[in-house]
């Protein structure tokens, strides 16, 4: 079971409340799809600068594995206040720990509602369908 302290998009991004901000990341499923267990296969990650306004569902960044580029989608609307600079140069951190040290950006949300997102159970079901 994936962590139940956060919410999810079917496109494999997660969002977790942390005080009056939220942090975004991608799930282990997304990492596995891109790298298939090879932690060195993630090669580039393009993240927005602090201050950028994001709308819900907007593409806020892109990540490249050795063989594919994938979009990163915003689970909620808000303003970027911090970027995890560590992973831009050390994507192994993301590959090894997508739930904690591999977070992507911190956002001050416009709205704290997450009812439009999947909870952990819903995300599990979504991933299960993708695996079938």
**64 touching other proteins, by CB under 8 A:** yes
Q: Which of 65, 74, 93, 103 binds other proteins (CB under 8 A)?
A: 65
User: Is residue 96 near other proteins by the rule CB under 8 A?
Assistant: no
Q: How far is the CB of 73 from other proteins (least distance, A)?
A: 9
Task: State which of positions 22-61 bind other proteins (CB under 8 A).
Answer: 32-36, 38, 41, 43-44, 46, 59
Distances (CA, A) of 31 to 18, 50, 101: 23, 24, 14
DSSP letters spanning 24-62 = EEE-HHHHHHHHTT-GGGEEEEE-PPTT-EE-TT-EEEE
Task: Round to whole Å and give the CA distance between 114 and 12.
Answer: 15
Site residues (vs other proteins, CB under 8 A)? 11, 32-36, 38, 41, 43-44, 46, 59, 62, 64-71, 130-131
């Amino acid at each position: 079971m994936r962590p139940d302290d956060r919410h999810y998009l079917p496109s494999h991004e997660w969002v977790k409340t942390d005080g009056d901000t939220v942090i975004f990341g991608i799930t282990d499923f997304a990492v596995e799809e891109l790298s298939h267990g090879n932690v060195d296969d993630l090669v580039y990650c393009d993240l927005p600068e602090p201050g950028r306004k994001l709308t819900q569902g907007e593409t806020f960044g892109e990540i490249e594995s050795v063989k594919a580029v994938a979009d990163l989608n915003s689970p909620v609307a808000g303003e970027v206040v911090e970027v995890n600079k560590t992973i831009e140069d050390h994507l192994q951190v993301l590959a090894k720990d997508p739930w904690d040290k591999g977070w992507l950006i911190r956002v001050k949300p416009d709205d704290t509602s997450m009812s439009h997102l999947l909870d952990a159970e819903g995300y599990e079901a979504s991933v299960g369908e993708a695996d079938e």
